[in-house]
């Protein structure tokens, strides 16, 4: 549903978009990328001023400078020698090779008591499907009809689990023909589904069973800002429940991808990101679960290429805000059952 989400009317009464912060965020690089000739690392207030003065980062910078001067064929040959993936455009291969040397140096540094570079134990990918019309009127309220989650282990770099539930819409219980054709979700599927508050309780239980936010540090990841700032925000209002605390901050992978590979936002659609990374879409487009799995594949490739995915957006009082790369890195809080607004 990623391309269709972009056509949703921007000025919704339930969501106030912060364009100023959004524009400012576009210029910021992905935090804690290895220092090189292209970008310097971003420090958070919780870091000491000498974090990046460690000799290991100077060695990484020298290696990155050499990689920046390599041709595409030289990059491919070197990646093949190291038995690394040779797919993708030149900038992707550069990041991959830099990541390899960075990991080697940091592993060596960690064994000697030096710095390491990790943020979360798990990343939870979410990509909602919602009710829609072919030409969404400005006053149309999108209701979530599929709630999928795909769980990434950042240590093993694998998809380790998934969750999926369909949701019964209340405001517009009859799905449009366009919505059925786009998402593959039938009227029978939603008629037999639970209402959103009950589904959200199942989501919370699923997260709790995996000890996320308690034993393990985790973050939510989405393909764009719409899922959390618009769809979930509207749905919670319609269902008369409070917006869940664990979903108030998330990683917008489009921002992370654009900043890390240094490409314009026009090249951060799901299909384009897959293509540039040398990957093909697997499954049915606009299936929430399949979209989430493919977004997870992009996230895994980015982690393999050395991007330190971190929270970059949040919602506050219904307003979408950017999280600066200088902010302290925090995992999502432990999930709890939704509370009523009444």
Q: Is the pLDDT of residue 296 over 70?
A: yes
Whole-number Å distance between alpha carbons of 53 and 257: 27
Count other Cβ atoms within 10 Å, centred on residue 29: 15
Query: What pLDDT does residue 10 have?
Result: 43
pLDDT in tens, 36-51: 333 333 333 334 444 4
Residues of the chain with CATH 3.30.420.10: 122-322
3.50.50.60, 2.102.10.10, 3.30.420.10, 3.90.25.10: which CATH number matches 122-322?
3.30.420.10
Phi, psi of 267 (to 5 degrees): -105, 25
Whole-number Å distance between alpha carbons of 171 and 312: 32
Inter-residue contact 168 to 193 (CB < 8 Å): yes
Residues of the chain with CATH 1.10.720.30: 55-109
Inter-residue contact 95 to 306 (CB < 8 Å): yes
Q: Which fold has domain 55-109?
A: 1.10.720
Tell me whether residue 237 is exposed, middle or buried, using C-beta atoms within 10 angstroms of its C-beta: 0 to 12, 13 to 18, 19 or more: middle
Nearest alpha-carbon partner for 28 in 322, 248, 224, 294:
322
Percent above pLDDT 70 for the chain: 80
> In the structure, what pLDDT confidence band is assigned to residue 18 with cuts at 50, 70 and 90?
very low
Query: What pLDDT does residue 6 have?
Result: 59
Tokens read off for 3: 């391309």
pLDDT in tens, 104-156: 776 665 555 444 456 899 999 999 999 999 988 888 899 999 999 999 999 99
127: helix, strand or coil: coil
**Residues with catalytic roles:** 129, 286
Q: Is the pLDDT of residue 335 over 60?
A: yes
pLDDT in tens, 71-111: 989 998 989 988 888 898 888 888 888 878 777 776 665 55
Whole-number Å distance between alpha carbons of 128 and 71: 40
Q: Is the pLDDT of residue 33 over 60?
A: no
**What is the rounded average pLDDT for all residues in the chain?**
84
Distance (Å) of CA 51 to CA 47, 110, 305, 319? 7, 14, 22, 33
Q: Could you tell me which residue, 55 or 253, shows the higher pLDDT?
A: 253
């Amino acid at each position: 549903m990623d391309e269709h989400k972009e056509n949703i009317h921007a000025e919704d009464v339930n969501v106030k978009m912060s364009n100023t912060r959004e524009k400012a965020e576009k210029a910021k690089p992905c935090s804690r990328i290895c220092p090189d000739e292209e970008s310097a690392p971003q420090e958070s207030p919780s870091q000491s001023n000498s974090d990046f003065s460690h000799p290991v980062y100077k060695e990484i910078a020298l290696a990155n400078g050499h990689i920046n001067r390599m041709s595409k064929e030289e990059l491919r040959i070197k990646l093949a020698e190291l038995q690394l993936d040779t797919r993708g455009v030149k900038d992707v291969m550069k990041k991959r090779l830099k990541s390899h040397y960075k990991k080697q140096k940091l592993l060596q540094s960690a064994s000697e008591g030096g710095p390491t570079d990790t943020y979360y134990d798990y990343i939870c990918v979410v990509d909602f499907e919602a009710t829609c019309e072919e030409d969404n009127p400005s006053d149309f309220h999108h209701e979530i009809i599929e709630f999928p989650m795909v769980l990434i282990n950042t240590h093993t770099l694998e998809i380790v689990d998934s969750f999926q539930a369909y949701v019964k819409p209340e405001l517009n219980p009859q799905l449009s023909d366009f919505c059925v054709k786009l998402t593959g979700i039938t009227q029978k599927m939603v008629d037999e589904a639970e209402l959103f508050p009950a589904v959200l309780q199942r989501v919370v239980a699923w997260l709790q069973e995996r000890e996320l936010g308690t034993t393990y540090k985790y973050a939510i990841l989405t393909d764009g800002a719409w899922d959390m700032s618009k769809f979930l925000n509207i749905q919670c209002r319609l269902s008369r429940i409070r917006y869940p605390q664990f979903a108030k901050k998330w990683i917008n992978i489009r921002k992370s991808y654009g900043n890390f590979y240094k490409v314009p936002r026009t090249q951060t659609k799901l299909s384009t990101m897959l293509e540039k990374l040398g990957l093909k879409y697997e499954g049915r487009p606009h299936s929430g679960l399949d979209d989430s799995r493919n977004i997870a594949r992009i996230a895994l490739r980015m982690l393999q290429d050395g991007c330190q995915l971190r929270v970059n957006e949040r919602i506050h009082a219904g307003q979408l805000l950017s999280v600066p790369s200088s902010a302290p890195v925090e995992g999502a809080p432990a999930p709890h059952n939704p509370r009523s607004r009444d």
